[in-house]
Each structure stands twice: as structure tokens, then as C-alpha cells.
A and B are shown apart, each in its own frame.
Chain A
């Protein structure tokens, strides 16, 4: 077999890395964290250049806003997805900092006994994930109502 084919067999690729089907909840959160992160950095690059037009005066700003407004409903939907990404990435990131830097929600090392339920994926971790999902969902729906229908103003 030629070397290139062998390399291809070895490297399993992006799809296997991001496709969490059959696995645990944490792997779904990993996939979402990564995708939302990439969305946010791409948006940030565009956002910095968008705000740059503010320094060029009101006319340039109006032009930029008109350009974005020409996207119609897709502008709002795009912003909604970005808002959701920011909410999820922040909330899940806080959980990961607790896990990685402080060792919280992991459980202490134990003697493994059948059926070998890992303590790092235990009830506490799941509760943290579901709380994050609930809060993010609620805020995201609120943001969606605001962006798409202009409602929800207090």
C-alpha cells in the first residue's frame, strides 16, 4: 500500500472527532464547545472590522449597517446563532475551568468496582451540564424572541 493511503487510514479525521453519536453527554459538550468556539472567532474577526467603520464617521457606519441589513432575516438568524454560541461557550467553559484547573466535579480516586461507573462522569457532572443547558436555552430563546420579533423588551 502506498504511504499516502496508509496515512489516511491512520488519521481518522474531523468527522470522527466531532461525531459523538453512541458516546457520553460530555463528548456532545466537547463537540459543541469546539464548533461554537470556531464560530465565535470567525465572528470576532468580522466584528472588529465592522466596528472599525465607526471610526470613519456616521456615513461609513450607515453604509455598513445597510450592507448588513441587506442580508434581511439572515442577519438576525446569524446574530442569534452567535449569541447562542457565546452563551454556551462561556457557560461550558466555566464548567471546564472548574474541572481542569480546580479538580471540582470529578470525584476522588476510588477502587474500581463493577460496573465501573466513572466518577468523573458522575451525577454532579451531569447536573452541571443540564443546568448549563437549561440556562443557555432560556437565555437563547429570550435572545431569539428579541432579535427575530423585537419583543421581550423590559
Chain B
């Protein structure tokens, strides 16, 4: 039952998922370390404006990588959950379109934040 409605071959999709997952293991660990007790700060100090701003500007590329990896991996995962749950092949393109729009919005907001600060 090959579908003409699928945007990508699913295997390329999953290769992307695996690759981004492996990237995120390192980048997200780094992100969690920056807000973890290992920094020697309390929870309130970690959320301080200047500390957050310093981190985001200093490690801008790392956070950019994390943003793109997390948004694409996460929304692709959500798409998988939705096409399994709703499982109507004719409407699959609607799910794909919504996911792509959501992805574009999140990436635009995130990229703007990283550039503007």
C-alpha cells in the first residue's frame, strides 16, 4: 500500500530522527548542565536575566543547534503520534502541513530570539 501522500520516504525521516537524537544527547546534556546544581547556583539564580543572557549569547551556536534539533525531532515525533492515532491516509497531508507550519513558526521565533539578544 505505497502512499503518494507521504512527504518523504519514511526511512529518511527516521534517519533524520536518529541523527538529531544523537546530536541532542550531547547538546541537551550541555544545556541541562548549565541549569543544573553543578553550576553551584540555586534555582532562582539560574533563571536570573543576566545569567541566561550570558549563556545564550556565549553559546549561541550550541543553542541554535539545540533549537533546530529539538524542534525538528520533537515535531516529527508528534507527527508520528498523530498519523498513528488518526490513521486516515487521505488526511495525512493535513497533519503534515500543520506540523510544517508549526515547525516554521517555532524556528522563526527561536532564531529571532537568538539573533536579537
Contact = CB atoms under 8 A, between A and B. Distances in A.
| Contact between chain A and chain B defined by CB under 8 Å | yes
Interface of A: 14, 34, 37-38, 40-41, 44-45, 48-49, 51-52, 54-55, 58, 61-62, 65, 76, 83, 86, 90, 93-94, 97, 101, 142-143, 146-147, 150, 152-154
B109 interface: yes
Interface residues on B, range: 35 or more
B109 A38 contact: no
A86 B38 contact: no
Given A34-B81, A38-B81, A146-B37, A55 B112 contact: yes
Interface of B: 18, 21-22, 24-25, 28, 32, 36-38, 40-43, 47, 49, 52-53, 56, 67, 70-71, 74-75, 77-78, 81, 85, 102, 106, 109-110, 112-113, 116-117
A62 B52 CA distance: 12
| Pairs of residues from A and B, 7 with the lowest C-beta to C-beta distance, nearest first | A55-B116, A41-B74, A153-B37, A146-B37, A55-B113, A58-B49, A152-B37
Given A101-B18, A146-B36, A153-B37, A44 B71 contact: yes
Given A52-B109, A54-B117, A154-B40, A86 B28 contact: yes
A125 to B, nearest CB: 19
A85 B20 CA distance: 17
A49 B53 CA distance: 15
Contacts of A76: 43
Given A37-B81, A101-B18, A44 B74 contact: yes
Contacts of B25: 90, 93-94
Nearest to B46: A146
A44 B85 contact: no
Given A14-B85, A94-B25, A54 B52 contact: yes
Given A51-B110, A61-B49, A97-B21, A40 B40 contact: no
Contacts of B117: 54-55
A93 B21 contact: yes
A97 B106 contact: no
B41 A52 contact: no
A90 B56 contact: no
